[in-house]
Amino acid sequence: MKKKIYYSILFLFFIFIFSVFYLGLDKPNSYTPNEYSNKNLETFTSKELFLNDEFNSNDIIENNQFTLVNIWASWCAPCRSEHSLLMGLKEKTNINIIGLNYKDKKNNAIKFLNELGNPFEKILTDPDGTISIALGAYGVPETFLVNSKSKIIRKYIGPLKTENILEITKIIK
């Protein structure tokens, strides 16, 4: 009788270990960032690219129902590919877009905009990348859709795709 209890406990124990590892197998082991966070975007103050004076992101975010914050750099190839989508979005919906110029040279950034157009309301600079880290970004390009209270409604990691643009247009309508 005692042996029976002992063996059944042992059996249950192994079943438990097996199920823990089996369930663990199913989980993706690479890090997947959460795209629908309920967090607020930190406000940031930085130099404007063209005007060279300090500017606070909240000045634009507070006064608009929705704002798009786009992290970009002239040296980043995916930014180049998503730029036409941003231009199209700006034309169609007139949404305010704040650009955050990530670890870039001023001349290169201006050249990039002259070549491909400027969809941004204001462009703030992030020369050492610390603002992007404070926003919780992983790199360039990255885009946040926030409401007037700075709440992040959508976060797009990597270049924007056409379906993302459609989604944004739907949300802000």
Which residue ranges make up the site for other proteins (CB under 8 A)? Answer: 13, 20, 30-31, 33-34, 39, 103, 128-130, 132-136, 138-139
> Least CB distance from residue 93 to other proteins, whole Å?
29
Do 132 and 103 contact (CB within 8 A), yes or no?
no
Q: How far is the CB of 113 from other proteins (least distance, A)?
A: 21
Cβ nearer to other proteins, comparing 40 with 84: 40
In a 3-state reduction of DSSP, which class is residue 53?
coil
Residue 88 or 129 having the CB closest to other proteins: 129
Give the nearest distance from C-beta 162 to other proteins in angstroms: 25
Q: Which of 58, 141, 50 is nearest to 96 (CA)?
A: 58
Decide whether 25 or 173 has the Cβ nearer to other proteins: 25
Contact assessment for residue 52 and residue 132, using Cβ atoms and an 8 Å cutoff: no
The residue count of the chain comes to 173
Give the largest Cα separation in the chain, rounded: 85
